[in-house]
Amino acid sequence: MELEEAEQATGTPLSDVIFCVLDIETAGGSPNGAGITEIAAVKYQGGYEIDRFNVLIDPETTIPSFIVILTGISDSMVRNQPTIREHIAPLLEFIGDSVLVAHNARFDIGFINAALDRFDMPLLSHKVVDTLQLARRLIRSEVPNCKLSTLASYLNLNHQPIHRALDDVLATGDLLHYLIERASSLGTHCLDDLIALPQMSSHPQSGKLKLTEDLPRTCGVYFFVDAQNDILYVGKASNIRSRVRSYFGTGESRNKVGKLLKIMQGVHFIETPDILTAEVIESRIISRARPRYNHAGTRADKYSYVRFTTDDDWPRLVVTKVPSPKGITIGPFTTKAMARDIVDAIESVIPLSRCTVRMGRNYSPPSDAEVCSAARLGLAQCPCSGTADPTEYARLVAVVSDTLLGNPADVIALLTTKMHKHSEAKRYEDAAFIRDRIINLETALERQKQAQELCSSGDLTFEHEGIIYEVSHGILRNTRRENQLFAPMQNSGIAVEHLTAPPESALIHDTLVRTDALNEVMCISRFVRKNEIAIA
């Protein structure tokens, strides 16, 4: 287990990888209408040949004359040879769990997989290195084309391909080792980097890949910095090295990423024991450093709240960006739409006031006051027109207050009754809509309860998958494995003030408020909820 963990942390060095270089000759260009006539495979490790496999095969079809001219393999040469069915098992045994290598791997592996499929055998699922794709990535500008014969001639490889399987395999093996040497200049020293390298085709900033050479393959936080060591972008990853290198791939061609990589002059990192700690540190640094390439939406100002204005004579529900100690506030919700859904769910069965007229304690409605449109439809009461019954309204306020304080049974019952009526009337879309409202309301209240419990719990310690977390009022104070304390400043190059936990409690006036601690509290609350961790 220790060896496996070490290999996962550092990647498999290329010198330790067993490569199985493969080549086939066929009776045509498609596996559907042509069979394999020859297979050769050579295993290499550390640059040295360790084993080889080479057989002629009866393709069970006539070999076209142009194929005979190209390969020199004729019908008479393969007539008495075993078929692919007889050779497939020995070939798979030879390959074992090695890494497959081929020049235009899709062709060779495609033919072999077609044969496996015909025999109802599992297809090849090995890691694959395609020397054609690697050559296009590393030396395309230096050669007329990337055919194996052209590369072997221009690079003066020890072996030259002649369209016979073994000769082509030996030439491909020479090419593989040449390309590995070229790839090392881009910080490619391990298998995962070599496999990913072709996906970084023609990236204008590919020269900066060398900046990733010392990045670990462990969980943590990474920082892109400029020439002045100012933070440009912060991210978290379960594999720092793999994630940072992925920015140079073809899938990361967005304009924003291109500009970021252009001015980026260095990459720093902080290793963490787990992804939760990485997410917390990422949140703290974004909140304090405000890197120019991190979205504004990753900060606490994206949150919305639902407030019930019980401090008013005629309380109503409002969506707000700023929580208040007055009344009852629940949240935060990650979007305004989510908060609005909660309000709509409650107001669809509880006819609260929706009046926008400001009504002070001595408010007296004018004699000609009109009833609000929602009240005329029977969806709300209308205090601003003087038509609302204070006694009945007080009862409604009590029901909504209980709901927001974590006792939603009455509101859920009303919503459920409404859902059943729609269903009985065969208005299934309306019934499904209310069902979703019920689920969203229950989920929001449960999340609110758990976040409040986390903040109210003071100092607590919990363990998950061998990692011990020390939390104070919803703020992560320490993370450790057994007796090993997490040291966040290792290799970071980042100021300490970006990492220290916020001093204030996240619990103020019995509601989560918008502070630097907010993202962190929500992050830890999600983790506790997802992993069903008891915090009582």
The beta strands (E) that lie in 74-155 are given as: 99-102, 128-130
- Report the interhelical angle of 428-456 vs 336-347 (nearest 10°): 110
Angle (nearest 5°) at CA 283 between 282 and 285: 65
Ordered alpha helix ranges (H), 144-291: 148-154, 165-183, 191-196, 240-246, 255-263, 275-289
For residues 270 and 491, the answer to whether their CB atoms sit within 8 Å is: yes
Which residue out of 126, 163, 177, 268 is catalytically annotated? Answer: 163
Angle (nearest 5°) at CA 116 between 113 and 118: 110
CA-to-CA separations, 476 to 287, 494, 521, in angstroms, rounded: 15, 19, 8
For residues 288 and 516, the answer to whether their CB atoms sit within 8 Å is: yes
Give the other-Cβ count within 10 Å of 16's Cβ: 11
For residues 164 and 72, the answer to whether their CB atoms sit within 8 Å is: yes
For residues 347 and 379, the answer to whether their CB atoms sit within 8 Å is: yes
Q: Is 163 a catalytic residue?
A: yes
* Sequence-ordered list of residues with C-beta below 8 angstroms from that of 381, at least 6 positions apart, any chain: 351, 352, 353, 375, 387, 388, 389, 392, 393, 396
3-state secondary structure labels for all residues of 385-440: HCCCCHHHHHHHHHHHHHHHCCCCHHHHHHHHHHHHHHHHCCCHHHHHHHHHHHHH
What is the C-alpha R_g of the chain?
33
Question: Which run of H or of E encompasses 317?
Answer: strand 317-320
Q: 352-375: b or e for each residue (b if 16 or more CB lie within 10 Å)? A: bbbbeeeeeeeeebeeeeebbebb
Rounded Cα–Cα distance for residues 416 and 431 (Å): 9
Cα–chain center distance at 76: 55
Give the other-Cβ count within 10 Å of 510's Cβ: 12
Structure tokens at 372: 């609000």
Q: 303-331: b or e for each residue (b if 16 or more CB lie within 10 Å)? A: bbbbbbbeebebbbbebeeebbeebbbbb
Which residues are catalytically annotated?
163
